[in-house]
A and B are shown apart, each in its own frame.
Chain A
Amino acid sequence: DQQVKQNSPSLSVQEGRISILNCDYTNSMFDYFLWYKKYPAEGPTFLISISSIKDKNEDGRFTVFLNKSAKHLSLHIVPSQPGDSAVYFCAATSGGNRDDKIIFGKGTRLHILP
């Protein structure tokens, strides 16, 4: 049973437009959410996170929105750039101890079209 779901395996977006990647979770104990980005032949790297006490966190072109009642979060990239083409993993964890394991979704492959 997947606790973190990314239902879109892939997404194509025109360069300069907004990319929206979605993620749903089932465990109401999750209180910290992360997005990781992965290029081919490399390991995932941290992109942005959000605590459950917030509903929005912004870092440059990247914004994560959290809707706790719907158990849904999304990552917005504006404007999308060619270097954003990668696999994006949504992840979640619970508890104040960040040593706890992180549960990852299956990932969404984002293609930025020229």
Chain B
Amino acid sequence: DAGVIQSPRHEVTEMGQEVTLRCKPISGHNSLFWYRQTMMRGLELLIYFNNNVPIDDSGMPEDRFSAKMPNASFSTLKIQPSEPRDSAVYFCASSPGQLQYFGAGTRLSVL
């Protein structure tokens, strides 16, 4: 298995633009997590899904952030409109019920 696949690896955009981050979890994993890593806050959970259903989105910072999981093999995290303070590394992780397996992350820079 190729592991959790995230795209793009790097994204540079201008303030106000829409940004969509993509994640393909490991096949067979029933939970999917979106995290954001910053120097100030470390690794913080944004939202997680179980069997494609959002379970806890309390970590989503604002209404500008939204996440979807239309099927078991794909999820998106969208920021609209993006702001410079959204600049961070965004990780997706999937889990079969025990450990979480992380993708390589998307480094987002909002200018």
Mark out the residues of chain B between 83 and 106 whose CB falls within 8 Å of any chain A CB in the assembled complex.
Answer: 91, 93, 95, 97-105
Cross-chain contact A98 with B98 (CB below 8 angstroms): yes
CA of A107 to CA of B101, assembled, Å = 17
Residues of A within 8 A of B43 (CB): 44, 89, 104-107
Binary contact readout B12-30 vs A (1 if CB under 8 angstroms, 0 otherwise):
0000000000000000001
A43 at the interface (CB under 8 A from B): yes
- Contacts of B45 on A, CB cut-off 8 Å? 101-104
- In the complex, what residue of chain A is closest to B41 when comparing beta carbons? A106
What residue of chain A has the Cβ atom nearest to residue B51's Cβ? A99
Nearest-CB residue, chain A, relative to B6: A43
Number of interface residues of B (CB under 8 A): 26
Q: Are B42 and A99 in contact (CB under 8 A)?
A: no
A98 & B97 in contact (Cβ 8 Å cutoff): yes
Q: Is B4 an interface residue (CB 8 A)?
A: yes
Contact call A43/B48, Cβ cutoff below 8 A: no
Give Cα A11–Cα B28 distance, bound, in whole angstroms: 38
Q: Of all chain B residues, which has the CB nearest A4? A: B42
Q: Which of B41, B56, B97, B102 contacts A43 (CB 8 A)?
A: B102
Contacts of A99 in B (CB 8 A): 30-31, 50, 55, 95, 97
B104 touches A101 (CB 8 A): no
Counting from the closest, the 10 A-B pairs by CB-CB distance are A43-B102, A106-B42, A104-B43, A98-B98, A99-B31, A46-B99, A44-B102, A43-B104, A43-B103, A101-B45
